[in-house]
């Protein structure tokens, strides 16, 4: 299978590129490098020993997507990972998020349909689920466009668009993957999460504290209705997540389908920090801060549909994720800029 990976040099994208190449597929990466480095593509090739051509360009620009097809196509499938993804930033820049996150889908889908792709795979989020009482979330749990932030809203809007696209193109495979919380890095230490500026997610923040570029870990609230008072989340190793993309592509059937990609095993904030401290071999500085608006006690999924239909199960533990994340960060203290 020949696959166009939009956002393919990013955190999830680079790991998915490795997984696809390891499975014998061919790939081309399309990325504007707004939150990553071209070095990620080079390291994908280094890990796999296979080419990972990178087109530097904006996936929301139909002319860029068309030119990529002209030069590197035809493609059998598009994997759409190109999106702005910081929840807090989306509250400050809603128009940027709606524009980018929807326009990339429109451009990739229009060109892909014109050029005869067979499969379209979209990276969505578990934050589209809107009723905490539904835990653990299944693919049939309540969703809404009336969500707490523009990032989540844009992802749910994309799902609606793609469901309609599948309805009028019945020969097309359209798969939506609802991620939970990707963590960890490739075991080689060559690729990992390298967010621009101060990280919005917990694991890369912990990594920066461990390497000394941030002062201490903030624990936002320790009075939740959970065993240790901190929030519970479904953290999935990014390599398991990447393998979920391969399974979804290889087993895709015509129509529209949604899968949760998570572990189904919630881990608390304190448990995640403790796992990283075990990996580092020392205690890390931390402080309890007030709760953040909109945070809930727990979020985790039931991934059994993916197990049944894709023969995919997340097998790596939170200790595996912490070990691999620290291997990446300690070898690359400034991320890809360390090279």
| Average pLDDT of the segment spanning 79-85 | 95
Q: Please state the length of the chain.
A: 339
User: For residue 7, what pLDDT is reported?
Assistant: 98
Maximum separation of any 2 CA atoms in the chain, in Å? 56
Q: Is the pLDDT of residue 293 over 80?
A: no
Reduced to 3 states (helix: H, G, I; strand: E, B; else coil), residue 286 is strand
Pairing status of strand 267-268 against strand 181-183 = unpaired
Render pLDDT for 116-155 as a digit per residue (tens, 0 to 9).
Answer: 999 999 999 999 999 988 999 999 999 988 898 999 999 9
Rounded to whole angstroms, how far apart are CA atoms 335 and 329?
A: 7
User: For residue 306, what pLDDT is reported?
Assistant: 98
**Residue 273: other Cβ atoms inside 10 A:** 21
Rounded to whole angstroms, how far apart are CA atoms 55 and 31?
A: 6
pTM, to two decimals: 0.97
Q: Rounded to an integer, what is the distance from CA 140 to the centroid of its chain?
A: 21
Residue 300 among the catalytic residues = no
pLDDT band of residue 190 (cuts 50, 70, 90) is very high
DSSP letters, 177-232, are EEE-EEE---TTSSS----SSS-SSHHHHHHHHHHTSSS-EEEE-S-SSSTTSS-E
User: Which of 11, 151, 179, 300 is flagged as catalytic?
Assistant: 151
């Amino acid at each position: 299978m020949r696959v166009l990976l939009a956002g393919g040099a990013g955190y999830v994208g680079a790991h998915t590129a490795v997984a696809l190449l390891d499975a014998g597929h061919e790939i081309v990466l399309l990325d504007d490098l707004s939150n990553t480095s071209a070095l990620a593509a080079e390291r994908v090739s280094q890990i796999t020993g296979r080419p990972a051509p990178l087109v530097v360009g904006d996936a929301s620009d139909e002319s860029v997507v068309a030119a990529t097809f002209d030069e590197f196509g035809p493609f059998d499938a598009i994997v759409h990972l190109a999106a702005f993804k910081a929840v807090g930033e989306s509250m400050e820049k809603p128009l940027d998020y709606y524009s980018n996150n929807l326009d990339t889908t429109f451009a990739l889908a229009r060109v892909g349909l014109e050029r005869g792709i067979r499969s379209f795979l979209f990276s969505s989020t578990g934050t589209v689920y809107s009723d905490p009482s539904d835990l653990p979330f299944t693919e049939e749990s309540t969703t809404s466009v009336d969500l707490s932030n523009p990032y989540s809203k844009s992802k749910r809007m994309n799902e609606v668009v793609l469901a309609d696209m599948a309805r009028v193109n019945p020969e097309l495979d359209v798969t939506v993957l609802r991620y939970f919380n990707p963590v960890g890095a490739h075991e080689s230490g060559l690729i990992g999460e390298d967010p621009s500026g101060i990280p919005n997610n917990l694991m890369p923040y912990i990594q920066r504290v461990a390497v000394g570029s941030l002062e201490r870990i903030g624990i936002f609230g320790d009075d939740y209705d959970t065993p240790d008072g901190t929030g519970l989340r479904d953290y999935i190793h990014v390599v398991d997540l990447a393998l979920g993309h391969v399974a979804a592509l290889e087993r895709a059937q015509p129509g529209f389908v949604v899968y949760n990609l998570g572990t189904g095993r919630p881990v608390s904030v304190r448990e995640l920090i403790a796992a990283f401290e075990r990996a580092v071999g020392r205690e890390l500085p931390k402080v309890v801060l007030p709760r953040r608006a909109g945070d809930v006690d727990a979020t985790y999924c039931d991934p059994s549909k993916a197990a049944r239909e894709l023969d995919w199960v997340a097998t790596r533990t939170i200790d595996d994720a912490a070990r691999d994340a620290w291997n990446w960060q300690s070898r690359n203290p400034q991320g890809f800029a360390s090279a």
